[in-house]
A and B are shown apart, each in its own frame.
Chain A
Amino acid sequence: MTSIKTSYNRRAFLKSSAAAGGGMLIGISWLASCESAQVEEALTMPEEWFDFNPYLKIGDNGVVTIYSPNPEFGQNVKTAMPMIVAEELDVDWKNVIVEQAAYNAELYGMQFTGGSRGIMSKWDALRMAGATAKHMLKEAAAKNWEVPISEINTENGVLYHKKSKQSISYGALASAAAGMAVPEEVELKEVKDFKIIGTSRKNVEGLNIVTGKPLFALDYHQEGMLIAMIEHAPSFGLKLKSVDAADAKAMPGIKDVFTIKTYEDDYEKGGFDANAFGELVVVVGNSTWEVMNAKKALNIEWEPFKAYSETINGWRGKSVVNVPAGLESTASHNNKMDALAAKKGKIVRKDGDPESMFKNAAKIIERHYSAPYLAHNCMEPVNVFADVRDGKVRLAGPLQAPGFIEPAIAASTGISVENIDIEMTRMGGGFGRRAYSHYMVEAALISQKAKAPIKLMYSREDDMTNGIYRPTYRASYKAALDENNNLTALHIKAGGIPESPLFADRFPAGAIDHYMAEEWSIESNITTGAFRAPRSNFMAGAEQSFLDELAEAMGKDPIDFRLELLQKAKEQPVGERNDYDPERYAGVLELVREKSNWSEQKENVHRGVSAYFCHNSYAAHVLELSMEDGEPVVQNVCCAVDCGIVVNPDAAKNMAEGGIIDGIGNALYGELTFKDGAPEQNNFHQYRMIRMNEAPKSIDVHFVKNEIKPTGLGEPPFPPIFGAIANAMYKATNTRQYHQPFLGKDKVLG
């Protein structure tokens, strides 16, 4: 067993009794209670609950409630996180009820689902929560039976003292155990002794989802609640000038039309307060359809804003961001990016003497890659319930991290954080978009002004045109080969609007003696932010396509070529800042080579390989496609992942499958373009999303088995699939793919 000091957030554990009652908002205002209907059929509810710590309580009949601390948007953390607690508590999973924990930073620390950090960041705390309660139960049993605690064992919710042949259930002892002192140190299980972690458990919300139970903020209802919708400027670069609401106000069911300003001018924004449209026109009415219609009857004038600078107080400290004036277009963006890509950038890493290697090269291969803006397009459009009355704020909505937005809600409403409650509803997708939850502030201000509970709804058009988009990127890769066709130097130059996508210390940095990485960026007034595997979602495709082309030019098998580079990075690493582990990286390539039967050639099947490291995990894919009627049809994707210990294997496979399909869709079709500051796509008739007939026919997911503390999975399988499909398309058509989307408008293959 491993010992762990419980000092980690120990203060929170000691304050546990306040948790269960204090912060909980669950149930009361939903149409029907989301959690209990399913559970009550299977389990008898206890007469009394005993709180052990913020993560769990045990009933007098042995039923255990486990609170999942982080918000859920499809990664299945609501199942996986409680599995970790149940493992260390040593209870039967059948006797576990799962509930979403309340937002309470003091008890749970950062409640953030994103960056593939959910399980990784809570692993220790979740294990400790289970182990601490188990220790307290053992203490109570030892006291009861007057035996040493070391002689007590547990199994499936029962305590045993073998010598005296005594046993007692957790339920029977819960009352006494809950009163025990929280231990200073607890023992954790060995990985080999895990009984729940590493076994597949069904999604705890499965039944509620397939029967259409209200789970999402969009489903929220409260008596007297009004519907609110917003109208934002049609173009980035515009602000509100005037509004004539007479027609809209006269329409049936409309209660009011007014304007709000999301952030005050002197508010210092945090890193996740991004919001292009601070001044909004709001329509409030009785029903969604009536409000949607009234929105069309608004007469609003917009005007260009002047360039300004703002100080953003982000995670890496304060920085000044310049927001230019003007109405930007994809055409003007492309011209600006072409110009900067041709100039010298800012050198962020240099190893050896790349200049002379290029000067003396026998052959130079240089390729240029590009990708457009992408919209997140979560299937559940932005929406949030707000009730701001009597000096209190109550919000229920989809957001990836309540802690990011709470200060802004307090500043904008003038209501202190102690009087703000945020309920984290299940999210209909997140993908980074819901880390930027300006809509929580908007909803709070609308409710405050309307003096009524409201539900703010974005239409799909509002959602797609008021985005915090994936930036548009460029990257140039240049390789020097000597007369023997050996790679002697690599030069990467990457940039974008408004940020560079470059990871200067990522593979193949560290594997090449002469290496240089440069970057550039261009300011913009179009809001951008995290999108599933930020920056990696572009760089992986560019890098892995280039390595494929390079391997071909060098006459090498693409997997062998990557493994040679990784061997060099392991044995004679260049530089000290390399951010990846070459051995684990090689591990996924070797696994995918084996599982995909890479050495076998199949008739009419074209294969592409790609691998990438990001968000602390490693993923490699072999994608197989065939051409049917001139269109690529993905037959199979073989995927290998190393994310350490896999908590819930079947759900983890689901996550990897999703990342692969989402990635293929974005690589082939994803594109948001701008004209005069306005997005040219505003709904799914213009913005093409991958559909079932375009998805791979099958996907095989394989995990590297090890005992490494779990790392992320939501993002890592996503970036490398861009390279895998590009490389397979080359094999099928003899044409390299440099510009995403590969099958965008007006593009034909071959």
Chain B
Amino acid sequence: MASFDIKINGNKKTVEVDGATPLLWVLRDHLKLVGTKYGCGMAQCGACTIHVDGKAVRSCVYPISQLKDQKITTIEGLSDDGSHPVQKAWLEKDVPQCGYCQAGQIMSAAALLDANPKPTDDEIDAAMSGNICRCGTYVRIKDAVKTASKM
């Protein structure tokens, strides 16, 4: 066990965990931020996507000990009221079916648009293909990413 000070969603938090604990479980079990989802535990599905200093990372394979001074943003920190353009676009296109993968999809999309505000179709595919949706909402996700890019 060790003590870690982390910057998350604009707040500072201290957690006592083993340094090997992936951020996913720090978020879910210790900070009770459960919007970030577990899907595979090996960075294959993208359900656990969060931002570390604005970049999309898979929190299920990111040990807390690797974190230095970076800022973490989770789906809860994107906006609490759905006012982030990506969330607004998701609502406008009524994207979700079961909804389980969507936090990860939204975090991948938000990081993409931060880095590349007007992505091409191929760039959207490249940025989003790490996120699996078993319900098959990909056409709507892509549509929503494009909608958000115009906001």
Contact = CB atoms under 8 A, between A and B. Distances in A.
A379 B39 CA distance: 6
A696 interface: yes
A659 B136 contact: yes
8 contacts: A74-B99, A209-B102, A210-B82, A252-B1, A289-B25, A684-B40, A685-B44, A692-B141
Interface residues of B, number: 65
A74 B98 contact: yes
Contacts, number: 195
A261 B30 CA distance: 31
B140 A657 contact: yes
Interface stretch (A170-178, A198-206, A541-549, A722-730): A198-206
Contact of A698 (B45, B136, B139, B141): B139
A426 B98 contact: yes
B25 A658 contact: no
B65 interface: no
B91 A693 contact: no
B103 to A, nearest CB: 5
A654 B44 CA distance: 25
A176 to B, nearest CB: 38
A76, A202, A684, A692: most-surrounded residue (chain B CB, <10 A) = A692
A684 B45 contact: yes
B136 A661 contact: yes
A215 B140 contact: no
A691 B139 contact: no
B100 A379 contact: yes
A660 interface: yes
A749 B126 CA distance: 23
Contacts of B94: 200, 202-203, 206, 650-651, 654
B34 A214 contact: yes
B44 A684 contact: yes
Interface string B96-123: 1111111100100000000000000100
B106 A31 contact: no
B147 interface: no
A690 B100 contact: no
A75 B44 contact: no
A654 B18 contact: no
A378 interface: yes
B22 A289 contact: yes
Interface string A657-672: 1111110010000000
Contacts of A662: 134-136
A351 interface: no
Interface in A186-206: 200, 202-203, 205-206
B131 interface: yes
Contact of A216 (B22, B25, B75, B100): B100
A377 B134 contact: yes
Contacts of B95: 654
Contacts of A212: 33-36, 74-76, 78, 103
A210 B74 CA distance: 12
Given A211-B76, A212-B36, A654-B94, A380 B100 contact: yes
Interface of B: 1, 17-18, 20-22, 25, 28-30, 32-42, 44-45, 47, 74-76, 78-82, 87, 90-91, 94-103, 106, 121, 124-126, 128-142
B134 A378 contact: yes
Interface stretch (A336-344, A427-435, A516-524, A577-585): A427-435
A218 B39 contact: no
Given A289-B25, A658-B135, A211 B101 contact: no
Given A209-B99, A655-B97, A692-B141, A287 B25 contact: yes
Interface string A246-261: 0000001000000000
A325 interface: no
A517 B63 CA distance: 58
Given A207-B91, A209-B96, A212-B36, A429 B135 contact: yes
Given A210-B96, A427-B98, A690-B136, 12 more contacts: A31-B34, A206-B90, A209-B103, A210-B90, A216-B37, A218-B38, A288-B29, A379-B133, A379-B135, A428-B37, A662-B136, A692-B125
A284 to B, nearest CB: 14
A180 interface: no
Contacts of A659: 136
| The 9 nearest A-B residue pairs measured at CB | A212-B35, A428-B100, A661-B136, A74-B98, A212-B75, A74-B97, A684-B44, A658-B136, A209-B99
A7 to B, nearest CB: 36
A684 B125 CA distance: 18
Contacts of A377: 134
A613 to B, nearest CB: 21
Contacts of B134: 377-379, 429, 431, 662, 689
B44 A76 contact: no
A29 B32 CA distance: 13
B38 A654 contact: no
Interface residues of A, number: 66
A480 B125 CA distance: 47
Interface in A545-559: none
Contacts of B40: 460, 683-684
A674 interface: no
Nearest to B76: A212
A665 B131 CA distance: 14
A213 interface: yes
A427, A430, A657, A660: most-surrounded residue (chain B CB, <10 A) = A657
Contacts of B76: 211-212
Nearest to A662: B136
A427 B124 CA distance: 28
Contact of A661 (B1, B29, B138): B138
B140 A695 contact: no
A654 B131 CA distance: 18
A254 B116 CA distance: 45
Nearest to A431: B134
A10 interface: no
B137 A657 contact: yes
Contacts of B91: 202, 206-207, 210
A219 interface: yes
A693 B120 CA distance: 13
A374 B76 CA distance: 34
Contacts of A389: none
B38 A211 contact: no
A31, A289, A430: most-surrounded residue (chain B CB, <10 A) = A289
Given A212-B36, A212-B75, A216-B100, A683 B44 contact: yes
A430 B87 CA distance: 25
B128 to A, nearest CB: 5
Nearest to B81: A211
A690 B132 CA distance: 7
Nearest to B21: A289
A206 B106 CA distance: 13
A429 B45 CA distance: 14
Interface in A391-446: 426-431
Contacts of A697: 121, 139
Nearest to A200: B94
A379 B137 contact: no
B34 A379 contact: no
Nearest to B90: A210
Contacts of B102: 209-210
Contact of B129 (A684, A693, A698): A693
Contacts of B139: 657, 661, 695-699
A118 interface: no
Contacts of A203: 94, 96
B22, B33, B97: most-surrounded residue (chain A CB, <10 A) = B97
Contacts of A695: 136, 138-139
Contacts of B125: 692-693
Interface in A24-40: 31
